[in-house]
Amino acid sequence: MLTEGGQLANRSFVIDPRGEIRARYDKIHLFDVDLPTGESWRESNTYRHGQEAVVVTGTPVGTLGLAICYDLRFPALFARLTEASADVIAVPAAFTVPTGKAHWEVLLRARAIEAGLFVVAAAQSGHHEDGRTTYGHSLIVDPWGEVLLDMGDGAGVKVADIDLSRITDVRSRVPAISHRRPIEAAVAQ
């Protein structure tokens, strides 16, 4: 979708059973990198970054927070979604094979544990026209960091039960969210 200024938005939508758009989220963190291999990726050449965290209330899975791909590497976004009472955070993504193997599951599990909620991550798998090969492994992770579902690297559809009472259970055993305090950095000279 073109935004003001002619750039695209990497955008996710929440669509209700009647086909109405309930919410949209524009990816906040854009992936710009120059790799030692000579590869260069510049999402900011094509996309404009989003400005705000988005949660949607009253969905069939509770209050839904939205993130996209590279956003996974920014725990502050997940903290904001938690503060906005998210129960589940959806993370569609296209991690490449090298970063997927090294970071995908561990980051999803860490975000679920830190936020004390469920993370549902749909992931592309396969070889793409631009030369990338994506990792796949769509996951559902519970608030304790347990992987409830791992789709592997193939295509398909699977479901897992999400019991929202697990959020209260986990947060009562590890009340880190209620213990968060604002922190200011002091720079020593």
pLDDT tens-digit map of 169-180: 999 999 999 999
Reported as a single tens digit per residue, the pLDDT across 134-186 is 999 999 999 999 999 999 998 899 999 999 999 999 999 999 999 999 899 89
Band of pLDDT at residue 132, cut at 50, 70 and 90: confident
Is residue 109 within 8 A of residue 149, CB to CB? The reply is no
Q: Report d(CA 33, CA 103) in Å as an integer.
A: 17
Go through the chain and tell me how many residues it has.
189
Q: Which residue pairs, CB below 8 angstroms and at least 24 apart, start in 12-17?
A: 12/66, 12/68, 12/90, 12/92, 14/56, 14/59, 14/64, 14/66
Thinking of the domain 54-177, which architecture would CATH place it in?
4-Layer Sandwich (3.60)
pLDDT at 189: 86
Q: Report d(CA 88, CA 159) in Å as an integer.
A: 15
Q: Report d(CA 128, CA 186) in Å as an integer.
A: 46
Which pair of tokens denotes residue 6?
A: 């002619």
**What are the boundaries of each domain within the chain?**
54-177
Band of pLDDT at residue 37, cut at 50, 70 and 90: confident
Count other C-beta atoms under 10 Å from residue 8's C-beta.
Answer: 13
